[in-house]
Amino acid sequence: METVYTLSILELVNKLQIRNDQPYEFLNKMTNMEITQRKLEICNILKEEGIEAGSEGYEYEVESKMIDSDILYKLFMLNREEY
């Protein structure tokens, strides 16, 4: 199965904000399709880690991955002139 990735966090640093309705700053630079793809990627990562959808703590794990992405985004933004 070929994995298709959304924009990388680093690519989002230089992308313009296109919305203001998402809980994380980096998501506000993504289209609906890109957000859907990001969530699918997270679900696939969790499945590879043995965490099945609907299992206890699943929503916590999804949110944790989103927070990780947001932290990386903010770190890259602090040093954006380097990219």
**pLDDT tens by residue, 4-15:** 556 788 889 989
How many CA atoms lie within 13 Å of 70's alpha carbon, on the beta-carbon side? 12
- Sorting pLDDT into bands at 50, 70 and 90, what band is 16? very high
Domain residues of the chain, as ranges?
Answer: 9-82
pTM to 2 decimals?
A: 0.81
Maximum Cα–Cα distance across the chain: 42
Roughly how many angstroms between the first and final C-alpha of the chain, as a whole number?
A: 31
User: One-letter amino acid identity for 27?
Assistant: L
- Work out the average pLDDT over 46-51: 95
Residue pair 26/73 in contact by the 8 Å Cβ criterion: yes
**Pairwise pLDDT comparison (82 vs 55), residue with the higher score:** 55
Q: What's the alpha-carbon Rg for the chain, to the nearest Å?
A: 13
